[in-house]
Amino acid sequence: DSGVTQTPKHLITATGQRVTLRCSPRSGDLSVYWYQQSLDQGLQFLIQYYNGEERAKGNILERFSAQQFPDLHSELNLSSLELGDSALYFCASSPKMGQPTEAFFGQGTRLTVV
Amino acid sequence: AQSVTQPDIHITVSEGASLELRCNYSYGATPYLFWYVQSPGQGLQLLLKYFSGDTLVQGIKGFEAEFKRSQSSFNLRKPSVHWSDAAEYFCAVGAGYSTLTFGKGTMLLVSP
């Protein structure tokens, strides 16, 4: 158990809908990362938050957004969903910035868009 | 921008045989390198990491990896594979405390 909790584990929704994925980082970790894993693209970095502020952006679509709350949990919002958004979405967390450290991954949320 | 290449999509190894999974990276400065393992339906578990110092690093589950700057490689090895090692393995490079760039992964199959 990495200590990173993601909910829900599975989500099935229709095209055009909006969903919210939730992540609770390890206790004490200030950084949260979101990754998307799909068969064709592999593991792609989406976005990083550190202590409530956006720090880095990767290949995140404009239809997707995220935020990190004062209690450090994070939410990834996916809207106007398309079939191609079906993927496994991972959240990871790591301690404070400024030193090399590994990221600890949650079990992921499997999103299926039908 | 950094990149990671894992040239082998699938590898099949007999149980008890040795294993080497290849990883080549591209990064301008000293990289921070990682190997993660993903079992079916599971998240990513860190096997080992290299930040600096000794280029041969030991990880969990009997895995080790060697950083070779001259070859831009960080190959993962295990002397004797167990059936429970069957999983997908990902090499990743990190720009310090920043985000990770992953390879496409190598699926390890273990035959009896």
Q: Is the pLDDT of residue B98 over 70?
A: no
Residues of B with CB under 8 A from a CB of A: 32, 34, 36, 42-46, 49, 51, 90, 94, 96-105
Q: Is the pLDDT of residue B8 over 90?
A: yes
Nearest alpha carbon to residue B75 among B94, B89, B54, B96: B89
Of residues B21 and A56, which shows the higher confidence score? B21
The per-residue pLDDT for range A77-88, each reduced to its tens digit, is: 999 999 999 999
Yes or no, beta carbons of B97 and A99 under 8 Å apart: yes
Collect all residues of chain B within an 8 Å Cβ-Cβ radius of residue A42: 102-105
Q: Is the dihedral of CA B65, A99, A74, A5 positive or negative?
A: positive
Q: Say which residues have a Cβ less than 8 Å from residue B15's Cβ, sequence separation at least 6.
A: B81, B82, B83, B110, B111, B112
Which of B34, B102, B104 faces A102 most closely, judged by CB atoms? B34
CA-atom Rg of chain A in angstroms = 13
Identify from B97, B104, B107 which residue to disrupt to test chain A contact, counting A C-beta atoms within 10 A and taking the largest count. Answer: B97
Token reading at A91 = 């959240």
Q: Is the pLDDT of residue B53 over 90?
A: no
A50-58: long-range contacts at Cβ-Cβ below 8 A with a sequence spacing of 24 or more?
A50/A97, A55/A31, A55/A97, A56/B98, A56/B99, A58/B99
Token reading at B5 = 């290449």
Average pLDDT for B57-70: 95
Average pLDDT for B25-34: 86
pLDDT under 50: residue ranges of chain A: none
Ramachandran category for residue A40: left, alpha or beta (phi over 0 → left; psi -120 to 50 → alpha) = alpha
Number of A to B CB contacts under 8 A, please give it: 50
Give the nearest chain B residue to A48 (CA atoms). B99
